[in-house]
Chains A and B, each alone.
Chain A
Amino acid sequence: MEPSSIQEPFDLIRLSLSERVFVKLRGDRELTGILHAYDGHMNLIMSDVEETIMLVEGDQPGVAPTVNVAKRKLDMLFVRGDGVILVSPPSRT
């Protein structure tokens, strides 16, 4: 293999093109979907996406906050890069 083919972090993301990826976003959101395109701002185009939104309720002190999870599916999605925290291949079992 050619180790020189990986020269910058984006080269690793490139490996995941047209693969399923896991994306963590700001605002307690996560995505899994097939990555189609990305750019230097980490803007992403994804298809077949499932978005998971964590909703934390009850922020009063003393009360244990409850976490609700909302999910939704999207056929095609443009993700703006400034919200992306991490992109990774999905964990394989």
Chain B
Amino acid sequence: MSFFGFQENDLEEERQRIRNGGAHENEDVAVYTWGEESYDGLGDALQEGGDDLNDETFGGGGSVGKDFDFAGQTSLLEPELAQQKSLSSEVQPRRDNAPVRPAEQHLPGDRRAPQSLESIWDDRSPFSVLPRENGGSRFAERERREPSTSQFSPFPESPVLHQPNASQGGARTLQEIEAEMRTAALQSRGASQRQQNALRLQQEEEFFQEQAYQRQRLAFQRERDQERELQLQALQRLQQQQVMQLREQPQHQRTPPPRMLPVSQSPRFLDQRQMLLLQQQEEQHQLRLQQELQEQLHMEELERQLRAQQISQLNQGPTHFNHRRQPSGPTIAELQALQQQHLHRRQRSQSPAYQDFNVPPQNSVQLQQRLLAELAQVEYLRDFQGATQAEQEALRAEAMRKIVEAEKMEDKRRKKAAKIAHMSRYNDLMTQSDKDFITRIQVSQLVTPDPYADDFYAQVYGAILRSRMGLQTQDERVLKFGTGGGISLGNTQKAATRRPNAMQRMEQQVERIVSNARRREEEKGLHSLHSLQGALGKTSGRSYKAAPRQLLQVDDNTSTSPTLAHAHPHISKGEATGPSNEGAAKEAAKLSRETLGNTGNVVRKDPLTRRQVLTTLEALYDLVLKVEHLRREQPPPEEEDAFQRWQREYDDLVEQLWEGLKVMVPLETSNPHPFVSLLSPSKGKKLLPRLTRHIGSSRMLTLMTLLVACFTQLDVVKQAPLLDALEETAERAEVERQTQAFLGSVLQSILPIVANLELHVVTALLGLLIERSQDIAEVAKTKPGLALLTLFLSRVEVIKQAWNNGAEPVDVMTAGAALEQWQAVFDQFFVLLTPHLLSLFPSSRITLQAHHPTSAALAIDIIDQPVWQFLAALALQAVPEQHQVLVTSLRDKVLENVLSANKGWVADEDERRTKLANVNLFLHALGLDSSQIAL
């Protein structure tokens, strides 16, 4: 609807009213009160054409009584009418008055008999009924649609409502016209004059019409606010509140978000003129919108009241309606819908969120209205058909449920839409270059020189996960850029599937940035300081780049560090004298040997101090990490240059590692040997498996030989007796920990070496072990020693089997010689061991005391297990006479175990099974079984 639409309508009506009033004021229609008493016969003065059918059109002639009835419905609505009348008299009087009152305005009070209010209320003419019934009346229609802007305000009792300009224009026109017409009629009744008058009248009419039109426009704008207030006064309190709420709401919503206009363009692209234009448009639009809103609101109000009245029982009092609060949902939703429409129109390009937002409220409004209508219908029908109470209740409940549901859904949807709309306010706020800039910042934070190490745990964890899931392992999830650096991609298992696009884009971005950076680097390189170096002459040989001189000189030398030397008196041997500086090169060692006049060709040194061991280990770990890093960056062999350079670097690092391990330091240098010292902390033990990859197997053999030679020096061997104590002490726990680390790391790393040893090497190693250890039985009593011996024995067994099977083709001569050698060494070993066979068992060494928990018994059986394994291996190598020795020595032990297992002297099934399994392990090697033992 356009802004001036109402005015146009009004004027049209005004003109018609004037015409009708002129032509038919003598008609005996109850509504047209101006024709009753003070009629001045002006009607006759007018001469107009086209009046022939007026009678038929307006039903003139006969008197129109109360029995005038459209479709026989009026009587049905009679009570309602009464109610409505009484209601509207307190609430909205103008609705009923509307068709009637204009007459009062037109005719001054002195020229006609004052009409009583009662007569108006009693008015039962179809016009008073029609507006509500079928909305057919033009008057009612106009009134309903545009009550406040009506010039002919029907409220003489409320003077505020007189709109001076607007109503004056209309009133004056009529008065003047009437006055002129009257004088004209009195002075001369000539046709020519009449015609002149008529002409003038028309001219004037036109003039005033235009005047009124313009005035109204002005008036409307000027008094818009006032009018609104007036309108509100006329409305019910409740409705008033509603309207106020509603009017406030759009103003909130209309405020644009910061830095943003609803158009998709960035604000900086709008020049001022555009802005101004936009503002103007908006103002006009708001004006129009407000009108629309008010209008629609009013319509709604009327409709709802009508419906509500239909719904409410006939016998229910009007108060019931008054107290009934109307649901605010539809109106708000409607308003939002309007608002959105408004926005919609203003928006040039729309985000989908906005569209989403636009649709649902309108739909919901429709839905709700439909629901309401249904409800009304149902109730109406029920009223007339007299349904049962239960049915009514059910229906009402159903309807209520539906409404509540619909409201809930609608509420939800609205919230969601509002949220989306709220967020989409910021759409397109950033340009692409903004985004790129931010991405660049983010990415630059991710680039590191060593992506693998920086994301070490994630990488390792990812590798483990992948291997567990059986996926093909792509080595590392890192993005590399030549030698420069890279980005760790972490574990992108999930991320890859979820946002592959984002990852790809990031990778591209990163690559671009890195290549740019590299290009810049190269450019800079051309003009860098390097090219200018030496241009101003050479500096002296000393490097100024060296680190600043240390203030605190920490000396690592043991002999000059009394506290540390004092801390390890038990290690320092009296004979180990000499200023042997660990850090000094071999030159220094030679010098010191000469000065001290050592006769041996081996320099005796203090064993490594704890500090030295730890420092060396840290350095070694650094090297290991470097080597591992280097290994990951191995260039493909095709790139000759790079590969050779890499190979050189790698070999150099491995060499440093080997040096650091001090394996090649002569055996007699110290006790313990430096390498053994390095193995003493658990991290030293754990270092070994990481080294074996890099150190060649020949070096590993050397390493193992050294280990065997110095086996008795190992902390785990020395302190093994502590394990035989059952009491839980810190020392025992520490030894336990170290032993586990040794078995798990050191022995595991030499296992593959042993598995490939030749028989004669094994023989030599066993011989070395026997020779180097004062008491081989003592070594065999330790877990590591037992494990090592078992390793050797089983290797020999494997070799023998391979020979027997012909799996390994061997020269009979050398094989025979090797076997002979082996047997000789083994015999020696067996003889040495025989007296201690029983004491090999921890269970025999441990004296189980009463206060020990019963669980200790089972623990003993478990720690006995390696011994049984060793004995089994021993038995396999033994000749029949040695079997005899074995059986007689171990007879008691075997019998004890079998007995306790069979007679039930055990705590539970587990213990029994463990005992039997242990015994059988050994007996099977002899070709026997525990079941053969008869007790």
Shortest CB-to-CB span from A45 to chain B, Å, is 13
Contact of A3 among B555, B610, B683, B686 (CB under 8 A): B555
Question: Would you call A18 and B618 a contact (CB within 8 A)?
Answer: no
- With an 8 Å Cβ cutoff, the count of chain A residues facing the other chain is 15
Query: Using a CB-CB cutoff of 8 Å, which residues 1-54 of chain A contact chain B?
Result: 1-3, 5-7, 14-20
Is the C-beta of B930 less than 8 angstroms from some C-beta in chain A? no
Is the C-beta of B567 less than 8 angstroms from some C-beta in chain A? yes
Q: Mark B604-629, 1 if CB is under 8 A from A, else 0.
A: 00000011101110110000000000
A interface majority secondary structure: loop
Shortest CB-to-CB span from B625 to chain A, Å, is 13
CB neighbours of B618 from chain A (8 A)? 5, 14-15, 17
Alpha-carbon separation in the docked complex, A83 to B554 (Å): 28
Considering residues B614, B683, B686, which has the most beta carbons from chain A within 10 angstroms of its beta carbon?
Answer: B614
Alpha-carbon separation in the docked complex, A6 to B561 (Å): 16
Q: A17-B683, A18-B681 known; A5 and B615 CB under 8 Å?
A: yes
CB neighbours of B686 from chain A (8 A)? 18
What is the chain A residue whose CB lies nearest that of B611? A15
Alpha-carbon separation in the docked complex, A89 to B615 (Å): 14
Shortest CB-to-CB span from A72 to chain B, Å, is 15
What is the chain B residue whose CB lies nearest that of A17? B683
Alpha-carbon separation in the docked complex, A6 to B619 (Å): 11
CB neighbours of B683 from chain A (8 A)? 17-19
Shortest CB-to-CB span from A28 to chain B, Å, is 21
Q: A6-B554, A6-B615, A15-B615 known; A1 and B682 CB under 8 Å?
A: no
CB neighbours of A20 from chain B (8 A)? 734
Alpha-carbon separation in the docked complex, A92 to B568 (Å): 8
Shortest CB-to-CB span from A76 to chain B, Å, is 15
Is the C-beta of B715 less than 8 angstroms from some C-beta in chain A? no
CB neighbours of B610 from chain A (8 A)? 89, 92
Alpha-carbon separation in the docked complex, A20 to B614 (Å): 12
What is the chain A residue whose CB lies nearest that of B557? A1
Question: Would you call B615 and A16 a contact (CB within 8 A)?
Answer: no
Question: Would you call A3 and B567 a contact (CB within 8 A)?
Answer: no
Question: Would you call A1 and B681 a contact (CB within 8 A)?
Answer: no
Question: Would you call A1 and B556 a contact (CB within 8 A)?
Answer: yes
Is the C-beta of B582 less than 8 angstroms from some C-beta in chain A? yes
Question: Would you call A19 and B614 a contact (CB within 8 A)?
Answer: yes
CB neighbours of A6 from chain B (8 A)? 554, 615
CB neighbours of A17 from chain B (8 A)? 618, 683
Question: Would you call A1 and B553 a contact (CB within 8 A)?
Answer: no
CB neighbours of B159 from chain A (8 A)? none
Question: Would you call B616 and A1 a contact (CB within 8 A)?
Answer: yes
Question: Would you call A18 and B554 a contact (CB within 8 A)?
Answer: no
Alpha-carbon separation in the docked complex, A15 to B615 (Å): 6
CB neighbours of A19 from chain B (8 A)? 614, 681-683
What is the chain B residue whose CB lies nearest that of A6? B554
CB neighbours of B681 from chain A (8 A)? 18-19
Shortest CB-to-CB span from B634 to chain A, Å, is 28
Alpha-carbon separation in the docked complex, A28 to B619 (Å): 35
Question: Would you call A18 and B619 a contact (CB within 8 A)?
Answer: no
Alpha-carbon separation in the docked complex, A3 to B277 (Å): 79
CB neighbours of B582 from chain A (8 A)? 1
Query: Using a CB-CB cutoff of 8 Å, which residues 562-577 of chain B contact chain A?
Result: 567-568
Alpha-carbon separation in the docked complex, A18 to B683 (Å): 7
Shortest CB-to-CB span from B500 to chain A, Å, is 35
Shortest CB-to-CB span from A48 to chain B, Å, is 8
Question: Would you call A16 and B612 a contact (CB within 8 A)?
Answer: no
**A-B residue pairs, 10 tightest by C-beta:** A15-B614, A1-B556, A18-B683, A1-B583, A1-B582, A3-B556, A6-B554, A1-B612, A3-B554, A5-B615
28 A-B pairs in the complex with CB atoms less than 8 angstroms apart? A1-B556, A1-B582, A1-B583, A1-B612, A1-B615, A2-B583, A2-B619, A3-B553, A3-B554, A3-B555, A3-B556, A5-B618, A5-B619, A6-B554, A6-B615, A14-B618, A15-B611, A16-B614, A17-B618, A18-B681, A18-B682, A18-B683, A18-B686, A19-B682, A19-B683, A92-B567, A92-B568, A92-B610
